[in-house]
Amino acid sequence: MNISLTAIKEQLKTSQRIVIVTHTNPDGDAIGSSLGLYHFLYTLRIHQVAVITPTPYPVYLQFMPANEKVNIYTHNTPRCQKLVAEATLLFVLDCNAASRLDDLGKHIVAADCTKILIDHHLSPELPTNFQVWDTSASSTAELVYDFIQMIRPQSRLTEAAVLCLYTGIATDTGRFKYATNAKTLQTVAYFRRRIRHNNRQQPNF
């Protein structure tokens, strides 16, 4: 059953057990978008938020804030299954099909909760209740930023969220060599100002 953005806003006004998942062998966009969303939801201060990846990811992506909070399904399967089974709100990021989640996929499909897909790949197949889906977007990280603005317009993101989302866009565009447009560059310009303002060194991919 599809639900409205208004219904999602209302759900986020009360305490939720939230799980964020992304595809197997996660890349920079998968991890950046997942942790960027994690930081936004965490700052709302009323939710339990967990990030799950089906498999490990490269060391060069492990600099992002809250990297230590990521649950890797192949390393702790019982815990990850429990988190999914108890979730009241589930985000699937950068992943258009259960097959891209390996064994975790069947648990995502079976989960009895509100499911939200945020993705820029073709032909999403996962059954979800709400989608932020745009194949013209540079990355899922950019769409996560759009979703945050839909939920809380003019929201001022934390430095941690900005760094993660910036990483997602930068890696999926080859450091802005392709798949960018005016909107993408405006978003990146905002991220860079926030990073520079806080004197955090930008990631060196």
Stretch 71-89: mean pLDDT: 98
Task: State the DSSP H helix or E strand holding residue 96, giving kind and residue range, or none if neither.
Answer: none
pLDDT band with cut points at 50, 70 and 90 for residue 198: low
> So what's the pLDDT on residue 197?
62
pLDDT band with cut points at 50, 70 and 90 for residue 192: confident
Q: What distance lies between CA 122 and its chain's CA centroid?
A: 17
| Cα first-last separation, the chain | 41
> So what's the pLDDT on residue 205?
45
Its CATH class, for the domain covering 5-197, is alpha beta
Amino acid 71 reads N
Amino acid 153 reads P
Q: What percent of the chain has pLDDT over 70?
A: 96
DSSP 8-state class, residue 59: G
Alpha-carbon distances, residue 190 vs 95, 166, 177, 185, 203 (angstroms): 26, 10, 18, 9, 16
Domain residue ranges in the chain: 5-197
Whether 173 shows a pLDDT value over 80: the answer reads yes
The neighbouring-strand residues paired with 130 are 116
> So what's the pLDDT on residue 134?
93
Q: What are phi and psi of 197, to 5 degrees?
A: -60, -35
Reported as a single tens digit per residue, the pLDDT across 113-164 is 999 999 999 878 899 999 999 998 999 999 999 999 999 987 889 999 999 9
Whether 199 shows a pLDDT value over 60: the answer reads no
164: left (phi over 0), alpha (psi -120 to 50) or beta: alpha
Whether 88 shows a pLDDT value over 90: the answer reads yes
